[in-house]
């Protein structure tokens, strides 16, 4: 009898599990647009309802164009009623085709609207072009004159008066539009005002009440991208690279893309829902114009609709242009309009333009570009020792071993659980003796424990974020009752940074680096698992105004701490989960708590590509998936793809089974070792690409269309990606795949790096795959540097010789670059680096110096092997100048592995130094 | 050093001779990284015509100029035994004074001294001091120590296996003795029962007779009374007599008595059992419901389990949300607010505290579980009771009672009981009437006693049968571990491993079952315990005990490499195998042989 009751219970539970299984994500615990008043209001506004007109248009002494935005007198309405004060409009133009528009309200009020500091580079201001004058022009049948200013060669900006609109166009009155603001009249700016009698400003969501003491203050507007086939960007969402429309005829009605940094438990692989970080930067790309971009610097909650074509058909008002375009609606709860328009026109131009505003990626240390091994948690020193030694036992390289929250004394960061980690220095030094680093976690929630020195100082000095009543905000996170450091204040950041000094962080050594998690911030008992919007920061700024930037400031402070610790000459490594524009200057991000499922492996590609497009190139996803147990095939496939992505770390939840690469039998160990080794052989190429990203902002992992902007077949491809301009990587995202479909972009020939076989571009191929690897192709015309020797970690690879792989194009030419420095310091800024360009043509390979600061960096490294793909003749030897030596040419393997064929032309032991100028001529 | 891929090669005298002759023809520098016994492979390179040698994988061949020229010609590394040029190459270091070592080619000139003789770092960038002599001494000492342990261990093991055979034989003998005793006792019990029933029948007859008489008497009186007062009823005394008869009438197999006695015990604990059952069910609801995907093992509280999180206090809400990541149940978190560190474990422990709160084991710590009350209970339950869903707690007195049949030093009990019964049967003639009530009482008592003994005997037989059915290894070398438990204290936990039974983790008064005995694995070098307490969001706990040679039986290095999958080592003489001892001795011999050489060289 009892038994049958048991069965009944199990059955019931099983049934309830069936009905809830697909949605472990707690949708109802997060606000949707309808539950978010500002979003609901903005979404229901009708096109062309904006009734503002610029007036008093002038050029200031600072070279800006300024105006007042006045409310148009409405003949139908009593003008005295509800009359808004004028808004302040300014328009500035910067080098390389960047337009900045600011719209603000009169700030002579008690409450100042928040303008996000510390994001726009100081250098950016110096790139401002001082406007001298504007032209006047009547647009179409307008009644009022509009104002036209120069933007860059071939582009100009128009401030249209009635209807109020700002747009960028190609030069000349008939010039094609590129980007526009408020072309659909959806601009609305809720100015701060006094509460009306009986008005209720509070907002309630579930058990939480937001006091909203300043009332409505949201901003919304429309932005149009002309000549666009697709729009991209605005991370972080687990969704496709090309953003699907969220609203419009024939579009399945969905939530807008939400930008609100949240700790989402078990996020879905396909959702416009906001995740851990926010970058309000959107790019468009299309055949006719190319690429353009729009960035709104605003740290409040944002919601963005991508409108399907015909969305405003009902308004029956003539479209501003019959050009193909994509319209978008941007809505934010607070802040100001501080918007940047980038004209492109090439994909790399736009990312460079964006980087000139928010900065390029920090140059990582070489070790950080290797493989990272993490788990929640490596439990104690013995565990660490054991995992470390297993890598050596299996001859698998890795660079960093990570410790999650359990290493601390009761989740008090900067401390150690001394039972489990009695000798942390010794442990780190032991790893360091084999060239390996350690990373520990430091989160922003501080345990409210009087005995904890960080808490004691922070509470004494008033360094915590306050609640609406002015008391230290008390939330709940890993340690239980916790408060959160107010990182918006530069003084507090400086205090925090000092905590990373070796003398302060007891048990730390110079080989220890940091991981910032939970910095959205995650608050287990807060509304939507984060901090209440009415919490107060430094300068009386409400949390609602800067929420999306909170994690950024925390990341910044931690990164500054490591910089200080290293005397300013040790490049920090800090991984952060939350991010904001500018994060790329401080470190690395990853895509948070993903799940061990094929579709999550699949979506990690567009997520990482999107981060790269929006500035953060150094990013990755947890290999294997954080939650759940990947089956072995998924794990292997994940390693195989992730080896080509910028940040390469295996990580797992503590409920999962161990999954270090050697735990799945000899064959699978071999497969994962091969995948990791591929990464290590390509590190010279990766490091060169990281340098390119550091200089230009062009990401390491690129969508195909960034390299092939003319090839429409690439625009929405987010299964394959480019590493630099030379490698095309196609992941395998399904179980037991026997073949995969690969599109090779139009133009060059492609060489399969497994066989050396050549494929014509512009076609889709069905490529056979085995479990051994995934399809990777080298683009003809490129030269890729490798180091084909295997070591324990990057440190031991320093003196190893290079291999160059030359993929010759149809004219017999190819080129590539190699960047080398000491891999850790900032000496490269003083010229301590090598930057070589290799060019191959007419059977001759030449190495020339690209370094502009002269060579102060020495390397004895040589080139041991040069592989030629697609070279037509069959030379027997090669002459090296200036040494006049002769090197043999023979058939060799493309990758050295047992059982491979010697099928590719190989120059054997040219042994030229990478630091020298030389030529090698095939004879 | 231990972490490296270690190859210990035994070098035979034969190879020494060959090596000498080969080495004479080329400088050892050319063959850096080649093991002495492999040097012949490269011999052809020095042949007069400038010959070539095939790569071992047969793919190519290479010349003397290509040998160790820091360029990989053979993809299997044949041509580059002494450089890092081939990824799959292996480097041999002689390590004179210690054991030779073969390291991956990735270790060559990587700035880290891997070989104790430093031969892997020869590019002049790294200075390695030769530590082979010291390391070799340490290794030899350790090896000697190990051999000493093995030597003693082998002796102990021999002794133990002999003992085991004797014990097993004894146990077998005991078992057959018990079985024959059981047979006899069964006969006695049956006789007594018969006797008793006859007496009871007679008694019953007498009673009915008496009743009748009394009735008549009463009726006579009543009719008298009736005349005075009218009618009345006097059924009651009769009924009470019936009741009495029921109790006396002990059912056919004589088991009902035991059963009802157990029932009493059972009932006494019924409320506790129910409590336990209840809490288990509660656990189930909260544990099973959240599992949303059995494949991935994802745990999340389903919508149903989300409860109404809005109604929670701020603190409880924080715990509830946090528990999604930690897998920690909020209801239990209240207990350990200050120690979130051991979240998962604590929560489990708290559950166990609830469910095991009435388990005798937590209060009494029986090192020898054979005396464990619970065990007896199971056996008795098997015999006497088919209700599989119940679990019993024994009355301690029962066990005390047990000693009279258990004690082998007192074998006379059996004779005694036989005699007593004989006396009783002779003295009392059941057919004689009227029955002496005191005699009836004696028969009844004797019957109860004999029957109780029979039950105990049966339980003992069942236990012994079970023991003898266990797998004690090919030489019964694990025989002595039966019925024993071994403890290891690690931080705040006490781990208890009871071979052939179960393994637990104890913290204070809470016990978590790590697993029930499954079997030996990997040719008796691993003990497996499975189906332990379930982990929230995870698998059932399990423990893998790796066995090692040691003089004493000791548990050590308890670990939890993956969540709820435990590992430990257990030293026991049972693993001190003669063959292994020989291997170790050979190993030492090889090491010792190298020694004179290093002296020569030094």
Residue B374: per-residue pLDDT: 39
pLDDT above 90 (res A645) = yes
The DSSP symbol for A792 reads: S
Q: How far is CA B212 from CA B215, B217, B235, B237, B435, in A?
A: 5, 8, 13, 13, 18
Return mean pLDDT, chain B. Answer: 72
Q: Is A593 a catalytic residue?
A: yes
pLDDT above 70 (res A882) = yes
pLDDT above 50 (res B14) = no
Output the CA angle A231-A741-A284, nearest 5 degrees: 10
Q: Can you spell out the DSSP letters for A302-364? A: EEEEEEPTTTTGGG----S--S-EEEEEEEESSS-EEEEEE--SSHHHHHHHHHHHH-PPPPP
pLDDT in tens, A435-447: 999 999 999 999 9
Q: CA B333, CA A205: separation in Å to the nearest integer?
A: 26
Closest CA to A805 of A779, A827, A771, A829: A779
Return mean pLDDT, chain A. Answer: 93
Q: Is A467 a catalytic residue?
A: no
pLDDT above 50 (res B349) = no
pLDDT above 80 (res B439) = no
Closest CA to A221 of A296, A148, A293: A296
Residues of A in contact with B84 (CB under 8 A): 789-791, 800
Output the CA angle A236-A180-A144, nearest 5 degrees: 150
Residues of B in contact with A16 (CB under 8 A): 289, 302, 304
Residue A159, H or E segment: strand A155-160
Q: Which domains does chain B have, with CATH numbers?
A: 28-129 (no CATH), 138-211+412-469 (no CATH), 479-576 (2.70.130.10)
Q: In whole angstroms, what separates CA A283 from the centre of its chain?
A: 13
Q: Which domains does chain A have, with CATH numbers?
A: 39-231+279-358 (2.60.40.1760), 366-699 (3.20.20.80), 706-922 (2.60.40.1180)
Q: CA A292, CA A475: separation in Å to the nearest integer?
A: 42
Residues contacting B423, CB < 8 A, separation 6+: none
Q: CA A626, CA A238: separation in Å to the nearest integer?
A: 15
Across the interface, of B4, B322, B389, the residue whose CB is closest to A477 is: B322
pLDDT, greater one: A23 or B413:
B413
CA distance A465 to chain B (A): 18
Residue A11: per-residue pLDDT: 47
Q: CA A328, CA A186: separation in Å to the nearest integer?
A: 10
Q: CA B427, CA B413: separation in Å to the nearest integer?
A: 21
Q: CA A481, CA A461: separation in Å to the nearest integer?
A: 19
pLDDT bracket for residue B111 (50, 70, 90) = very high
Closest CA to A517 of A573, A578, A474, A607: A578
Is there a contact between B573 and B550 (Cβ–Cβ < 8 Å)?
Answer: yes
Closest CA to A577 of A278, A897, A198: A278
Q: CA A435, CA B114: separation in Å to the nearest integer?
A: 14
Burial B369-382 (b: 16+ CB within 10 A, else e): beebbebbbbbbbe
Using a CB–CB cutoff of 8 Å, tell me whether A80 touches chain B: no
Do you know the residue count of chain A? 923
Across the interface, of B86, B110, B298, the residue whose CB is closest to A628 is: B298
Phi, psi of A461 (to 5 degrees): -90, 0
Residues 467 through 506 of chain B touching chain A, CB cutoff 8 Å = 491
Q: How far is CA B24 from CA B93, B247, B601, in A?
A: 19, 103, 17
Residue A584: per-residue pLDDT: 98
Are B560 and A379 an interchain contact pair (Cβ–Cβ within 8 Å)? yes
Is there a contact between A681 and A659 (Cβ–Cβ < 8 Å)?
Answer: no
The rounded percent of chain A whose pLDDT value lies above 70 is 95
pLDDT above 80 (res A239) = yes
pLDDT above 50 (res A223) = yes
pLDDT in tens, B129-140: 999 988 888 888
- Structure tokens, A628: 């759940």
pLDDT, greater one: A410 or B404:
A410
Are A21 and B562 an interchain contact pair (Cβ–Cβ within 8 Å)? no
Q: How many CB atoms are located within 10 Å of the residue A381 CB?
A: 17
The DSSP symbol for A243 reads: P
pLDDT above 60 (res A122) = yes
Q: CA A832, CA A841: separation in Å to the nearest integer?
A: 29
Q: CA A547, CA A537: separation in Å to the nearest integer?
A: 10
pLDDT in tens, A6-60: 555 554 444 444 433 344 678 888 999 999 999 999 999 999 999 999 999 999 9
Residues contacting A531, CB < 8 A, separation 6+: A465, A473, A475, A484, A521, A523, A543, A547, A550
Strands A65-71 and A87-94 come out as: antiparallel
Closest CA to A355 of A118, A92, A124, A608: A124
pLDDT bracket for residue B258 (50, 70, 90) = very low
- Structure tokens, A682: 């390509």
Mean predicted confidence (pLDDT) in B319-327 = 84
Mutate which of A206, A629, A655, A890 to disrupt the B interface (most B C-beta within 10 Å)? A655
pLDDT above 80 (res B260) = no
Q: Identify the active-site residue in A312, A443, A593, A633.
A: A593
| Pick from A260-269, B312-321, B365-374: least confident | B365-374
Residue A37: per-residue pLDDT: 94
pLDDT in tens, A281-312: 999 999 988 999 999 999 999 999 999 988 88
The rounded percent of chain B whose pLDDT value lies above 90 is 28
Residue B198: per-residue pLDDT: 80
Phi, psi of A497 (to 5 degrees): -60, -35
Residue A656, H or E segment: none
- The listed range with the strongest mean pLDDT (A395-409, B383-397, B422-436, B457-471) is A395-409
pLDDT above 70 (res A5) = no
Phi/psi-derived region of residue A537, left when phi > 0, alpha when psi is between -120 and 50, beta in every other case = beta
Residue A588: per-residue pLDDT: 98
Mean predicted confidence (pLDDT) in A736-748 = 96
Are B4 and A392 an interchain contact pair (Cβ–Cβ within 8 Å)? yes
Output the CA angle B442-B444-B448, nearest 5 degrees: 115
Is there a contact between B260 and B247 (Cβ–Cβ < 8 Å)?
Answer: no
The neighbouring-strand residues paired with A231 are A284
Please state whether the peptide bond connecting residue A163 to the residue before it is cis, i.e. omega within 30 degrees of 0: yes
- Structure tokens, B595: 């020694």
Mean predicted confidence (pLDDT) in A591-617 = 97
Is there a contact between A830 and A908 (Cβ–Cβ < 8 Å)?
Answer: no
CA dihedral B386, B389, B395, B398 (to 10 degrees): 20
Residue A276: per-residue pLDDT: 97
Residues contacting B554, CB < 8 A, separation 6+: B486, B488, B570, B571
Using a CB–CB cutoff of 8 Å, tell me whether B49 touches chain A: no
Q: CA B86, CA B79: separation in Å to the nearest integer?
A: 9
Mutate which of B321, B490, B541 to disrupt the A interface (most A C-beta within 10 Å)? B321
Q: How many CB atoms are located within 10 Å of the residue B60 CB?
A: 17
pLDDT, greater one: B220 or B466:
B466
Is there a contact between A432 and A509 (Cβ–Cβ < 8 Å)?
Answer: yes
pLDDT above 70 (res A716) = yes
Give the nearest chain A residue to B292 (CA atoms). A21
Q: Collapse the DSSP code of B517 into the 3-class scheme (helix H, G, I; strand E, B; otherwise coil) and give the result.
A: strand
- The listed range with the strongest mean pLDDT (A782-786, B351-355, B380-384) is A782-786
Burial of B512 (0-12, 13-18, 19+ CB in 10 A): buried
Q: Is A817 a catalytic residue?
A: no
- Structure tokens, B77: 């590394």
Using a CB–CB cutoff of 8 Å, tell me whether B124 touches chain A: no
Using a CB–CB cutoff of 8 Å, tell me whether A663 touches chain B: no
In this prediction the ipTM stands at 0.89
Using a CB–CB cutoff of 8 Å, tell me whether A264 touches chain B: no
pLDDT above 70 (res A625) = yes
Residues of A in contact with B302 (CB under 8 A): 16-17, 19-21
Mean predicted confidence (pLDDT) in B344-355 = 38
Q: Collapse the DSSP code of B553 into the 3-class scheme (helix H, G, I; strand E, B; otherwise coil) and give the result.
A: coil
Q: How far is CA A573 from CA A376, A439, A585, A677, A793, in A?
A: 19, 9, 11, 22, 17
Is there a contact between A739 and A769 (Cβ–Cβ < 8 Å)?
Answer: yes
pLDDT above 90 (res B390) = no
Are A593 and B277 an interchain contact pair (Cβ–Cβ within 8 Å)? no
Residue B214: per-residue pLDDT: 82
Residue A539: per-residue pLDDT: 93
pLDDT bracket for residue A582 (50, 70, 90) = very high
Residue B554, H or E segment: strand B554-562
pLDDT in tens, B547-570: 999 999 999 889 888 888 899 999
pLDDT above 50 (res B339) = no
Residues of B in contact with A788 (CB under 8 A): 87
């Amino acid at each position: 009898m009892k038994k049958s009751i048991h069965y009944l219970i199990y059955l019931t539970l099983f049934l309830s599990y069936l009905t809830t299984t697909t949605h472990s994500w707690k949708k109802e615990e997060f606000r949707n647009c309808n539950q978010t008043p500002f979003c609901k209001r903005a979404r229901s506004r009708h096109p062309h309802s904006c009734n503002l007109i610029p007036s008093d248009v002038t050029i200031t002494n600072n070279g800006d164009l300024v105006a007042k935005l006045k409310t148009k007198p409405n003949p139908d309405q009593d003008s005295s009623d509800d009359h808004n004060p004028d808004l302040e409009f300014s328009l500035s133009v910067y080098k390389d085709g960047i337009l900045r528009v600011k719209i603000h309200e009169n700030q002579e009020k008690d409450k100042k609207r928040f303008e996000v500091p510390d994001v726009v580079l100081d250098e950016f201001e110096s790139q401002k072009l001082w406007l001298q004058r504007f032209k006047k022009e009547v647009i179409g049948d307008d009644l009022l004159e509009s104002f036209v200013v120069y933007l860059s060669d071939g582009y100009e900006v128009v401030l249209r008066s009635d209807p109020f609109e700002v747009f960028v166009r190609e030069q000349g009155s008939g010039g094609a539009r590129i980007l526009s603001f408020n072309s659909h009249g959806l601009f609305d700016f809720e100015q701060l005002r006094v509460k009306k009698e009986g008005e209720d400003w509070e907002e309630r969501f579930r058990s939480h009440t937001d006091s909203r003491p300043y009332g409505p203050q949201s901003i919304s507007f429309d932005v149009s991208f002309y000549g666009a086939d697709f729009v991209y960007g605005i991370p972080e969402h687990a969704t496709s690279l090309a953003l699907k429309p969220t609203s419009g005829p024939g579009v399945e009605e969905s939530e807008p893309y939400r930008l609100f940094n949240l700790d989402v438990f078990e996020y879905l692989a396909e959702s416009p829902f906001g995740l851990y970080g926010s970058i309000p930067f959107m790019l468009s790309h299309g055949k006719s114009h190319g690429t353009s971009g729009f960035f709104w610097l605003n740290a409040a909650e944002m919601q963005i609709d991508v409108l399907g074509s015909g969305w405003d058909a009902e308004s029956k008002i003539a479209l501003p242009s019959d050009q193909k375009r994509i319209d978008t609606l941007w809505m934010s709860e607070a802040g100001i309009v501080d918007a940047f328009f980038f004209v492109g026109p090439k994909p790399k131009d736009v990312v460079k333009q964006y980087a000139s505003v928010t900065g390029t990626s920090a140059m990582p240390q070489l070790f950080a570009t290797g493989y990272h091994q993490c788990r929640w948690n490596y439990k104690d020193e013995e565990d660490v020792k054991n995992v470390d030694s297993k890598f050596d036992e299996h001859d698998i390289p890795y660079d960093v071993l990570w410790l999650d929250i359990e290493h601390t004394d009761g989740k008090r960061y900067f401390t150690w659980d001394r039972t489990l980690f009695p000798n942390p220095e010794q442990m780190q030094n032991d790893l360091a003796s084999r060239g390996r680093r350690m990373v520990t976690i430091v989160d922003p929630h501080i345990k409210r424990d009087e005995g904890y020195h960080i808490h004691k100082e922070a509470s004494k000095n008033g360094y915590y974020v306050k609640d609406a009543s002015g008391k230290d905000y008390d939330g709940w996170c890993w340690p239980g009752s916790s408060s959160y450091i107010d990182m918006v204040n530069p003084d507090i950041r400086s205090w925090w940074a000092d905590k990373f000094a070796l003398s302060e962080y007891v048990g730390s050594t110079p080989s220890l680096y940091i991981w910032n998690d939970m910095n959205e911030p995650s608050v287990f008992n807060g509304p939507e698992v984060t901090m209440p919007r009415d919490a107060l920061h430094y300068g009386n700024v409400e949390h609602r105004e800067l929420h999306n930037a909170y994690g950024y400031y925390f990341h910044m402070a931690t990164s500054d701490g490591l910089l200080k610790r290293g005397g300013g000459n040790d490049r920090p490594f800090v991984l952060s989960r939350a991010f904001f524009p500018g994060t790329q200057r401080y470190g690395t991000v990853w895509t948070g708590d993903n799940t061990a499922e094929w579709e999550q492996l699949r979506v990690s590609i567009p997520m990482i590509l999107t981060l790269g497009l929006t500035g953060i190139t150094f990013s990755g996803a947890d290999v294997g998936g954080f939650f759940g147990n990947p089956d072995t095939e998924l794990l292997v496939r994940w390693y195989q793809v992730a080896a080509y992505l910028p940040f390469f770390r295996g990580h797992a939840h503590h409920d999962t089974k161990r999954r270090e690469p050697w735990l799945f039998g000899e064959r699978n160990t071999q497969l994962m070792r091969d995948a990791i080794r591929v990464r290590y052989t390509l590190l010279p190429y990766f490091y060169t690409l990281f340098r390119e990203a550091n200089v230009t902002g062009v990401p390491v992992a690129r969508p195909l269309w960034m390299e092939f902007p003319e090839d429409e077949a690439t625009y929405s491809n987010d299964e394959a990606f480019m590493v630099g301009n030379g490698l095309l990587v196609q992941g395998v995202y399904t179980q037991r795949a026997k073949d995969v479909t690969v599109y090779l972009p139009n133009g060059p020939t492609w060489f399969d790096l497994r066989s050396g076989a050549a494929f014509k571009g512009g076609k889709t191929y069905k490529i056979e795959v085995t479990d051994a690897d995934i399809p990777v192709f080298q683009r003809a015309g490129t030269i890729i540097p490798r180091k084909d020797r295997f070591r324990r970690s990057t440190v031991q690879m320093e003196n190893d010789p290079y291999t160059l792989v030359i993929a010759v194009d149809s004219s017999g030419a190819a080129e590539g670059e190699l960047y080398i420095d000491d891999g850790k310091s900032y000496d490269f800024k003083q010229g301590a680096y090598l930057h070589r360009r290799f060019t191959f043509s007419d059977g001759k390979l030449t190495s020339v110096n690209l370094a502009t600061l002269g060579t102060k960096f020495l390397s004895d490294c040589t080139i041991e092997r040069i592989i030629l793909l697609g070279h037509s003749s069959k030379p027997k030897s090669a002459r090296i100048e200036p040494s006049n030596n002769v090197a043999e040419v023979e058939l060799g393997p493309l990758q050295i592995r047992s059982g491979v064929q010697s099928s590719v032309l190989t120059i054997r032991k040219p042994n030229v130094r990478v630091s020298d100028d030389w030529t090698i001529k095939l004879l | 050093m231990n972490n490296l891929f270690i190859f210990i090669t035994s070098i035979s005298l034969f190879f020494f001779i060959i090596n000498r002759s080969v080495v004479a023809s080329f400088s050892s520098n050319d063959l850096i990284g080649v093991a002495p016994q492999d040097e012949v492979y490269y011999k052809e390179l020095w042949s007069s015509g400038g010959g070539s040698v095939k790569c071992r994988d047969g793919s190519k061949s290479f010349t003397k100029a290509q040998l160790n020229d820091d360029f990989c010609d053979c993809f299997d590394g044949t041509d580059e035994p002494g450089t890092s040029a081939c990824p799959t190459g292996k480097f041999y270091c002689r390590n004179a004074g210690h054991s030779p070592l073969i390291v991956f080619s990735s270790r060559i000139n990587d700035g880290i001294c891997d070989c104790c003789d430093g031969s892997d770092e020869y590019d002049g960038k790294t200075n390695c001091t030769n530590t082979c002599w010291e390391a070799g001494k340490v290794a030899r000492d350790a090896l000697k120590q190990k051999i000493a342990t093995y030597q003693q261990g082998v002796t102990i093991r021999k002794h133990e296996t002999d003992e085991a055979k004797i014990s097993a034989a004894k146990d077998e003998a005991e078992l057959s003795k018990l079985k024959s005793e059981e047979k006899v006792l069964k006969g006695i019990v049956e006789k007594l029962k018969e006797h008793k029933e006859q007496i009871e029948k007679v008694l019953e007859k007498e009673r009915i007779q008496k009743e009748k008489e009394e009735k008549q008497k009463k009726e006579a009186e009543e009719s008298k009374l009736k005349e005075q007062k009218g009618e009345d009823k006097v059924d009651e005394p009769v009924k009470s007599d019936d009741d009495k008869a029921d109790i006396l009438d002990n059912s056919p197999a004589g088991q009902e008595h035991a059963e009802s006695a157990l029932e009493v015990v059972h009932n006494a604990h019924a409320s506790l059992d129910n409590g336990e059952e209840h809490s288990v069910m509660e656990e189930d609801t909260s544990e099973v419901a959240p599992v949303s995907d059995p494949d991935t093992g994802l745990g999340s509280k389903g919508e149903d389990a989300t409860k109404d999180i809005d109604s929670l206090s701020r603190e409880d809400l924080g715990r509830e949300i946090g528990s999604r990541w930690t897998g920690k149940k909020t209801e239990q978190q209240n207990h350990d607010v200050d120690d979130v560190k051991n979240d998962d474990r604590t929560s489990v422990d708290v559950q166990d505290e609830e469910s095991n709160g009435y388990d005798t084991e937590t209060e009494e710590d029986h090192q020898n579980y054979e005396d464990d009350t619970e065990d007896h209970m199971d056996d008795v339950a098997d015999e006497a009771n088919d209700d599989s869903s119940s679990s019993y707690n024994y009355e301690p007195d029962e066990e005390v009672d047990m000693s009279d049949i258990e004690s082998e030093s007192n074998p006379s009990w059996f004779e005694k009981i036989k005699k007593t019964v004989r006396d009783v049967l002779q003295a009392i003639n059941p057919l004689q009437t009227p029955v002496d009530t005191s005699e009836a009482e004696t028969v009844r008592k004797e019957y109860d006693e004999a029957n109780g003994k029979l039950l105990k005997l049966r339980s003992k037989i069942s236990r012994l049968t079970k023991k003898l059915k266990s797998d004690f290894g090919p030489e019964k070398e694990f025989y002595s571990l039966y019925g024993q438990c071994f403890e290891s204290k690690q931080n705040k936990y006490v781990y208890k491993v009871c071979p052939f039974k179960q393994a637990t983790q104890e913290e204070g008064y809470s016990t978590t079952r790590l697993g029930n005995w499954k079997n030996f694995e990997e040719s008796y070098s691993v003990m497996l315990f499975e189906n332990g307490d379930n982990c929230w969001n995870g698998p059932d706990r399990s423990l893998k005990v790796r066995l090692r040679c040691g003089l004493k039986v000791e548990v050590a290095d308890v670990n939890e490499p993956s969540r709820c999958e435990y590992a430990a080592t257990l030293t026991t003489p049972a693993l001190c195998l003669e063959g292994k001892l020989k291997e170790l001795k050979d190993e030492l011999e090889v090491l010792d042989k190298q020694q004179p050489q290093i002296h020569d060289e030094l």
